[in-house]
Amino acid sequence: MIEFQAVTKRFDDGTVAVDELNLSVDPGRITVFVGPSGCGKTTSLRMVNRMIDASSGTILVDGKDIRQSDPPLLRRGIGYVIQQAGLFPHRTVLDNVATVPLLSGWDRRKARSRAAELLEIVGLPSELGKRYPAQLSGGQQQRVGVARALAVDPPVLLMDEPFSAVDPVVREGLQDELLRLQDELDKTIVFVTHDIDEAIKLGDKVAVFRTGGKLAQYDKPSELLARPADDFVASFVGRDRGYRALGFLSADGLPVGELASVVLGTPVDQARAALRQGWAVVVDERKHPVGWVSADRLSTVDGLVTEDVLLSGGSLYDVDSGSLRSALDSALSSPSALGVAVDGTGALVGSVTADEVLRALASARDAGEVPQ
């Protein structure tokens, strides 16, 4: 879909920002460019829509050499989202989103109704359409930026550090939202970030750049973690990469054990009788885990098991979609050392232990599913 063939960018002052880049971006997938500051990520991205022209080499979009495309026309087929959204401050949110459709010759009514539809797609309440960008939070502005880039339904989306100006919690929400959107839209997305965790979470494939505009490795995230090409990539992907690689191993077949449980509101003496090895998980009426009780904790209270009595739980492991990493994390973060397993609806299923996860890892290794 997008192909870089020996692409080099040398700026007028002699700086080589991108050096002989060869890379092919898969259609309908998210490709992330990641690397330290100044390694040429943004320059590589902006060459795709000809905001910067390559000094040598060829870039093909949909099989066509972009030098043969008129830049404004080329850009209409390529959505572009930048940090801090880059919205027009004196236009309403709705008009910001309607801008590209209007430029493409749509009539005002159609452009505005498309804009309203897009605000809904990116999860913004329609009344925000009347506001100006400064009257929105940073996260909301980013969503408007994404809506604007999607306005004429371009097959390609370029995203340059789109979420880096928002706080980590909002950022995670925006990342999840992008993955959800991509599930429906199947765009070809090139996403630039300097955050390796963001790259690994979002990328179907990740290109790691090193300073000097050279591509160090281009691979699936699981491969980057398991088989970094060299010391630079290994140190860039981070110290706990072995643990993070577990996130890509399915926990299918991991044994789920029994777990003592009591419902919130149970009399304390009944809860004591239900404990196993001094612990029970507490669930609400929908069987969703809400915390733990221990023999110690119950020895100091009477009456009913209420929320005040609970010890907070660790992370939950979803047996339908969880990875070995989430199973292990659930066990390690649990006050009882038993991880809490739930089904896709969030209802309690049973327990997992760190030992079982390590055994599952050993058999995956024996079966050749994990790189040695």
Ligand X SMILES: Nc1ncnc2c1ncn2[C@@H]1O[C@H](COP(=O)(O)OP(=O)(O)OP(=O)(O)O)[C@@H](O)[C@H]1O
Our measurement of the distance from residue 61's CA atom to the centroid of its chain's CA atoms, rounded to an integer in Å, reads 25
What b/e string do you get for 257-275 counting C-beta neighbours within 10 Å, with b at 16 or more? Answer: eebbbbebebebeebbebe
Q: Tell me if 11 contacts ligand X by CB under 6 A.
A: yes
Q: Tell me if 162 contacts ligand X by CB under 6 A.
A: no
Closest CB 60 distance from ligand X, rounded Å: 20
Cα dihedral sign, 196-198-201-202: negative
Q: Which of 30, 39, 206, 282 binds ligand X (CB under 6 A)?
A: 39
Closest CB 131 distance from ligand X, rounded Å: 29
Q: Tell me if 43 contacts ligand X by CB under 6 A.
A: yes
Residue 332: what residue type?
A: L
Task: Report the half-sphere exposure of 62 (CA within 13 A, side-chain side).
Answer: 12
Give, as ranges, the residues between 178 and 217 that touch ligand X (CB under 6 A). 194
Q: Which of 38/123 has CB closer to ligand X?
A: 38
Q: Which of 12/302 has CB closer to ligand X?
A: 12
Closest CB 195 distance from ligand X, rounded Å: 10
State the DSSP H helix or E strand holding residue 113, giving kind and residue range, or none if neither.
helix 108-121
Stretch that binds ligand X, among 30-38, 197-205, 256-264, 326-334 (CB under 6 A): 30-38
Cα dihedral sign, 241-247-253-254: positive
Q: Tell me if 40 contacts ligand X by CB under 6 A.
A: yes
Taking the C-alpha atoms of 248, 250, 256 and 260 in order, what is their torsion angle to the nearest 10 degrees?
Answer: 30
Where residue 246 falls (left for φ over 0; alpha for ψ -120 to 50; beta otherwise) is alpha
Closest CB 141 distance from ligand X, rounded Å: 19
Q: Tell me if 49 contacts ligand X by CB under 6 A.
A: no
Stretch that binds ligand X, among 39-47, 84-92, 168-176, 217-225 (CB under 6 A): 39-47
CA distance 127 to 304: 45
Q: Which of 5, 20, 38, 55 binds ligand X (CB under 6 A)?
A: 38
Closest CB 301 distance from ligand X, rounded Å: 54
Q: Which of 41/112 has CB closer to ligand X?
A: 41
Stretch that binds ligand X, among 32-40, 114-122, 216-224, 350-358 (CB under 6 A): 32-40
Count other Cβ atoms within 10 Å, centred on residue 169.
Answer: 9
First to last CA, the chain: 33
Stretch that binds ligand X, among 13-21, 127-135, 137-145, 270-278 (CB under 6 A): 13-21
Q: Which of 7, 34, 42, 356 binds ligand X (CB under 6 A)?
A: 42
Count other Cβ atoms within 10 Å, centred on residue 37.
Answer: 7
Closest CB 362 distance from ligand X, rounded Å: 40
CA distance 3 to 139: 32
| Residues in touch with ligand X (CB under 6 A) | 11, 13, 15, 17, 35, 37-43, 194
